[in-house]
């Protein structure tokens, strides 16, 4: 990831932070509507707490993009833990799509094609590493 991509992701995420609770609600509503098969993963979850965890984790990852060697092992560990919840490699695409739609709704006109491309690059990079850690190299391709 180049510096411009990282800056676009970090600057746009900074605009989401003030509406983080709403953004989490939008994200999970979109995810459950567009990928209802993932809803059982959250059957026992307090969704307000889950939303807080999501936004906190996103914040850590986004703020750490300039130091990928520190962030990658954390993302890999998270991915391996998610296997125990039943998460499948193909679920990452649904999560990424819901994340993009959430950012589009939350940022409005600030979600420019350039910002969208930056998020796609960041998400593709990290999800590829996560899928590889949890399911192997073939699943990440």
pLDDT single digits (tens) 29-44: 999 999 999 999 998 8
Domain count along the chain: 1
The reported pLDDT for the residue numbered 36 is: 97
Distinct helix (H) and strand (E) counts, the chain: 7, 0
Q: What is the phi/psi pair of residue 133, to 5°?
A: -65, -40
Arithmetic mean of pLDDT over the chain: 94
What is the domain range of residue 67? Answer: 3-140
Note whether 55 and 10 are within 8 A (CB): no
Could you give the CA distance from residue 98 to residue 113 in angstroms, rounded to a whole number?
16
Query: pLDDT, tens digit, for every residue of 61-107?
Result: 999 999 999 999 999 999 999 998 899 999 999 999 999 999 999 99
Instruction: Give me the residue label for tokens 């998400």.
Output: 123
As a whole number of angstroms, the distance between CA 53 and CA 49 comes to 6
Q: Residue 10 sits in a domain of what CATH number?
A: 1.10.490.10
Q: Which two tokens stand for residue 80?
A: 């391996």
Q: CB-based contacts of 23: which residues, under 8 Å, 6+ apart?
A: 16, 55, 102, 106
The pTM of the full predicted model, rounded to 2 decimals, is 0.92
* Residue 140 banded pLDDT, cuts 50, 70, 90: low
């Amino acid at each position: 990831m180049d510096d411009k991509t990282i800056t676009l992701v970090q600057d746009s995420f900074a605009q989401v932070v003030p509406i983080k609770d709403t953004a989490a609600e939008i994200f999970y509503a979109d995810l459950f509507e567009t990928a209802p098969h993932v809803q059982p993963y959250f059957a026992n979850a307090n969704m307000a707490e889950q939303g807080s965890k999501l936004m906190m984790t996103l914040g850590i990852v986004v703020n750490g993009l300039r130091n990928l060697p520190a962030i990658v092992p954390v993302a890999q560990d998270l991915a391996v833990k998610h296997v125990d919840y039943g998460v499948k490699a193909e679920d990452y695409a649904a999560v990424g799509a819901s994340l993009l739609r959430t950012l589009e709704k939350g940022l409005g006109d600030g979600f420019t094609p350039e910002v969208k491309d930056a998020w796609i690059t960041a998400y593709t990079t990290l999800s590829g590493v996560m899928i590889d850690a949890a399911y192997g190299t073939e699943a990440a391709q």
